[in-house]
A = this chain, B = another copy of it.
């Protein structure tokens, strides 16, 4: 086969994290130059939210006029039925050169507590190379900073909202935390203060609870205390969680010193 008939290689699907703070400071505080350069070089974007993607591309000074870029909004629940269509520009096809695509979330890392996994899964199935880039994840920063077990941990997403269901779920979560595995879960801005109170009400006094919010922002919150210590504090001294998305972590034993803890 001569070079003129060789099929063009597929484009790559880049996974590009974006800042997580509601009031982001300088971009280079949280994004490596390599991550930014990848987004600046691309012309095709799959975005959880097109508006926030445009704001990000403007903030990094994308060299093309933003209106000339192709930005497809995949939404919070990207439909499986649309994934092949979204990935089509990355695939070799007669008469067209495959291009790279960039997947971006509204905040943080695509596919981690955020949509995009079904698109990445399909890219693998289609032979499209997948390239993850370094950037901020609220969950990862909270885990680093909690002083809990990082050799065994479990991310649970959101806990149930219903009080009875929450209480039942916390029994299992606490049991796993006492076995030494860090339990991580998140809550939305308007419910995080209520979840914090529920944790103080339903968890064992000796369990350690870390509360983290806005870890790359101007007023970061990152504190680990036992439930008993949190309970003993005046409510005025409680973490300011009102209308802030938060990460919660529970761990039941002193942090392990060593590497091969489990």
Contacts and interface: CB of A to CB of B under 8 A. Distances in A.
Interface in A132-160: 132, 134-137, 140-158
A140 B137 contact: yes
Contact of A144 (B111, B143, B150): B111
Interface in A4-44: 15, 26, 28-34
* Count of this chain's copies in the oligomeric assembly: 2
Contacts of A216: 134
A149 to B, nearest CB: 6
Interface stretch (A56-64, A74-82, A94-102): A74-82
A113 interface: yes
A252 interface: no
Given A15-B144, A31-B32, A130-B222, A118 B261 contact: no
A148 B115 contact: no
Given A144-B111, A147-B123, A155 B156 contact: no
A134 B135 contact: yes
A132 B149 CA distance: 15
Contacts of A134: 29-31, 134-136, 141, 216
A110 interface: yes
Contact of A28 (B29, B34, B137, B258): B34
A147 B132 contact: no
B34 A77 contact: no
Given A34-B26, A117-B149, A124-B224, A111 B257 contact: no
Contact of A121 (B114, B117, B224): B224
Contacts of A129: 222
Q: Which 6 pairs show the lowest CB-CB distances between chains A and B?
A: A121-B147, A29-B34, A120-B147, A77-B258, A117-B255, A28-B33
Interface of A: 15, 26, 28-34, 76-80, 109-124, 129-132, 134-137, 140-158, 208, 210, 215-216, 220, 222-225, 254-262
